[in-house]
Structure 1
Amino acid sequence: MSTLLKISFVSLSLLISSNIFALPLDKLSLPEGFKIEVYAEGVTNARQMALGKTGIIYVGSRGEGKVHAVVDENQDGSADKVVLIAEGLTMPSGLTYRNGDLYVAEVSKIHKFSNIDQTYASSPKSEIVIDGLPEEKHHGWKNIDFGPDGWLYVPIGAPCNICETIDDGKFNDPRFASILKFDLANDKHEWVAKGVRNSVGFDWHPVTKELWFSDNGRDWMGDDIPPCEINHVSEPGQHFGYPYFHGGDIPDPEFGGDKKPQDYRFPAYNLGAHVAPLGIHFYQGKQFPAEFKHRLFVAEHGSWNRSTKSGYRVMMATIENDKVTDYQPFIEGFLNEQDDAWGRPVAMLTLPDGSLLVSDDFANVIYKVTYKK
């Protein structure tokens, strides 16, 4: 990326975050009947979201190092205030809510803020429930969530663009490039998936209860390869190919060597190169039309080093019999005609009324998508 392009990118972000101009929501296109509006603004670097039992939305961040609570006090469908819960954390991108407690992921540890709905406004203290995770920041930020089995799922990204993480002398830790799950009650963990370069979003299929996750492809193989991926775990511990293969059967020029692609799990669906899929979310609400039920929404955060930008949109995948049969845009328009981005979608969350929240860590807002026939 050129210096001039970096300056333009940062300058646009500063203008948006300082509210010098309003977000051009009229430039966004959605399917007929859908409407998008700002649910909350001033949510700096908004990343993963979690819904509390009282309706409060909890939001993580990455570079900002903060966790916020977004509160709709009068319950009119739009946030009234944004409250700082914690700051000074190391990339607390991911969080989840369970039994009244908020779990927040730093790079190397997981916090628990007990009874968060009553304490969020009083600088609550946390306890560490998982410690000793790798400290490398490269791909160290993570989304987390509790699975249908009650275990806490935690991805650990590769500490590099491309490298082996076992017995190479520098990153000798088998936990890298994987998804783990933790039984907090019994202090044990198991592997869910291996060979995963950088997953920053996952969800469970509402019917099969099997895990689906996004994975960001490696850099510096060109504008158009390798693809980013949507993956499906059908058996615990499956290996998805990194760093040996990308997109299923594209050998890595450095590590492909004498490996065989059939020895690894192929992606469920290959996306465009560098689109950077982050949050993925199965829609289970009742507000959208029936054909949207169980569709998988995918936040393509957008490329950072492609000569022409790709991604910067929310997509939707139709899944039938564990196969992606269709992949279409849901929200487009975050890129203007000059190839400048004014928004970057990150994660989705369905509210009890069936509306869909979408976080944006570039515009520092949370959008709300509704449907009216």
Structure 2
Amino acid sequence: MKTFLLASIGLLAATSLAAAQAPVPDNLEKLSNFQSTGTTEFTFVEQSGAYADGIRETLKRIKLPAGFKIDLYAVVPDARHMAVGPQGIVTFVGTRKDKVWAVTDRNKDRVADEVKNFAPSLKFAIPNGPCFSKDGFLYIAEQNRVLVYPAAEFFYESPDVAAFNVVKQGELVPATEESYNHTARVCKIGPDGKLYISLGQPFNVAPAEKLDLYKEHGIGGMIRINTDGTGREVYTYGIRNSVGHDFHPETGELWFTDNQVDGMGDDIPPGEINRQTAAGQHFGHPWYGGGSVRTTEYAGQEVPVEVVMPAVETVAHAADLGMTFYTGRQFPEKYKNAIFSAQHGSWNRTEPVGARVMVTFVDSEGKATTEPFAEGWIDENGEYLGRPVDVAQLRDGSILVSDDLAGALYRISYEGN
């Protein structure tokens, strides 16, 4: 029996309440042994009706460069980071709640026909970060676990999917550091074939007594591991809370966004887009709150590490999140190898900013400049009409943008002047 879900606040709340009353058992051991769990039901998200029409109305106000257009691709509740399947069959969408969504455009008209929950027999905890290997293995980084789903584009049609531990529950960060704050993990496979996972530290500014522990485990940084979970090492230090990274298509260098310190005023510190050129580099937290702005907590102290300053400073409290390098052929040549990134907008500002998609152009020397690409999700009253989270590229060269406020994916395509 199929359960249909209208994308409305009331019904979503009712669904969450029902889930709380009847928790899904963790069937990972069965799935790892290719055993059935007895799960038969999916939750499907309605793609038509008044809710979808309301999102389309909002999109009429979005400003884009000449020749581009934006359309509603799918209604996806709580949509966060995305992973587009290598075969182009399905896009997996993480959330900060307890679901991962599978989004399918079956008739290839560039609008999703079906949105349903992925692996309903599993119990997820903040499964924000899906990512794919080139050969079709789906990895999902949760709050304190990483699982791999071989052949996910095939198995997603069934409630039971092949699933295996990469990092067991409770081993991504120590149990004592498992927080509700800054735990939206992001993963990507690097040019070296290893899995790179960001581990935001949970504080506004990391306290001194935590620094040694965090350095050891890569909290407030980024780790890399082999895809079987072995060989863990800390690759990046000095990050406050990075929720977006990708590798330059030509140089292989790691680039990432970072959300900077709150409570310092509307205009400082700046947000960051960073460029990492070698393993072990440090990007300033907690001595720096963003850019060259020192934190109040560590003001006047000598900085004991060599700090790499950001490649780009962005407007304060815009909350730069997901990013991807553009490698498609649909957009004009100037966008080749440019970074498309999402600004979510922060709670910590009297005048809201962000809620837009940015584009960052990187020259041959690694120097970068950024500018708005799609904007208009803040209305004349200063109210958020949407909050972009992530950007992903489809096989046809168009891009998807996720929005966890509206609960949607948008498709931006180019039709020429």
Question: TM-score of the superposition, structure 2-length normalised?
Answer: 0.81
Separation (CA, whole Å) in 2 of partners of 1:165 and 1:151 = 31
Aligned to 1:112: 148
> Once the 2 structures are TM-superposed, how far is the Cα of residue 174 of structure 1 from its aligned partner?
4.0
Aligned to 2:188: 145
Separation (CA, whole Å) in 2 of partners of 1:327 and 1:115 = 37
Q: Deviations over 1:255-301 (max 9, x none)?
A: 23322498311111111111000011111111111111111112001
Aligned to 1:4: none
Question: In the alignment, is residue 22 of structure 1 matched against residue 22 of structure 2?
Answer: no
> Once the 2 structures are TM-superposed, how far is the Cα of residue 168 of structure 1 from its aligned partner?
6.3
Aligned to 1:62: 95
Aligned to 1:7: none
Residues 56 and 117 in structure 1, CA contact (< 8 A), matched pair in contact too? yes
> The residue matched to 1:100 in structure 2 has which SS?
coil
Separation (CA, whole Å) in 2 of partners of 1:173 and 1:261 = 16
Question: In the alignment, is residue 314 of structure 1 matched against residue 357 of structure 2?
Answer: yes
Aligned to 2:167: 130
Aligned to 1:36: 70
Separation (CA, whole Å) in 2 of partners of 1:256 and 1:288 = 45
After superposition, residues 73-92 of structure 1 pair within 5 angstroms as 73-86=106-119, 88-92=123-127
After superposition, residues 253-332 of structure 1 pair within 5 angstroms as 253-260=296-303, 263-332=306-375
> Once the 2 structures are TM-superposed, how far is the Cα of residue 219 of structure 1 from its aligned partner?
0.7
> The residue matched to 2:242 in structure 1 has which SS?
coil
Separation (CA, whole Å) in 2 of partners of 1:322 and 1:279 = 23
Amino acid at match of 2:51: N
Cα RMSD for the two superposed structures: 2.5
Q: Deviations over 1:159-201 (max 9, x none)?
A: 2111236556997854210101001347111222100010100
Residues 93 and 102 in structure 2, CA contact (< 8 A), matched pair in contact too? no
Question: In the alignment, is residue 370 of structure 1 matched against residue 413 of structure 2?
Answer: yes
Separation (CA, whole Å) in 2 of partners of 1:62 and 1:256 = 36
> Once the 2 structures are TM-superposed, how far is the Cα of residue 89 of structure 1 from its aligned partner?
1.4
Residues 275 and 311 in structure 1, CA contact (< 8 A), matched pair in contact too? yes
Aligned to 1:198: 241
> The residue matched to 2:54 in structure 1 has which SS?
coil
> Once the 2 structures are TM-superposed, how far is the Cα of residue 209 of structure 1 from its aligned partner?
0.8
Question: In the alignment, is residue 51 of structure 1 matched against residue 94 of structure 2?
Answer: no
Gaps of 5+ in 1: 1-9
Residues 269 and 291 in structure 2, CA contact (< 8 A), matched pair in contact too? no
Worse overlay, 43-52 or 315-324? 315-324
Separation (CA, whole Å) in 1 of partners of 2:52 and 2:359 = 32
> The residue matched to 2:156 in structure 1 has which SS?
helix
Gaps of 5+ in 2: 1-8, 14-48
Residues 322 and 390 in structure 2, CA contact (< 8 A), matched pair in contact too? yes
Aligned pair partner of 1:158 in 191, 201, 209: 201
Separation (CA, whole Å) in 2 of partners of 1:222 and 1:293 = 36
Aligned to 1:94: 129
Residues 94 and 130 in structure 2, CA contact (< 8 A), matched pair in contact too? no
Separation (CA, whole Å) in 2 of partners of 1:278 and 1:167 = 25
Separation (CA, whole Å) in 2 of partners of 1:18 and 1:168 = 50
Residues 199 and 220 in structure 2, CA contact (< 8 A), matched pair in contact too? yes
Q: 1:202 to 1:20 in 2, by over 3 A?
A: closer
Separation (CA, whole Å) in 2 of partners of 1:285 and 1:94 = 22
Aligned pair partner of 1:360 in 403, 406, 410: 403
Residues 39 and 366 in structure 1, CA contact (< 8 A), matched pair in contact too? yes
> The residue matched to 1:122 in structure 2 has which SS?
coil
> Once the 2 structures are TM-superposed, how far is the Cα of residue 80 of structure 1 from its aligned partner?
0.5
Separation (CA, whole Å) in 2 of partners of 1:263 and 1:272 = 24
Separation (CA, whole Å) in 2 of partners of 1:165 and 1:322 = 36
> The residue matched to 2:51 in structure 1 has which SS?
coil
> The residue matched to 2:232 in structure 1 has which SS?
strand
Residues 272 and 291 in structure 2, CA contact (< 8 A), matched pair in contact too? no
Separation (CA, whole Å) in 2 of partners of 1:372 and 1:19 = 27
Separation (CA, whole Å) in 1 of partners of 2:318 and 2:256 = 15
Q: Deviations over 1:307-335 (max 9, x none)?
A: 11011100111111344443211001000
Amino acid at match of 2:383: D
Aligned-pair identity in percent equals 38
Question: TM-score of the superposition, structure 1-length normalised?
Answer: 0.90
Separation (CA, whole Å) in 2 of partners of 1:28 and 1:91 = 30
Separation (CA, whole Å) in 2 of partners of 1:207 and 1:169 = 35
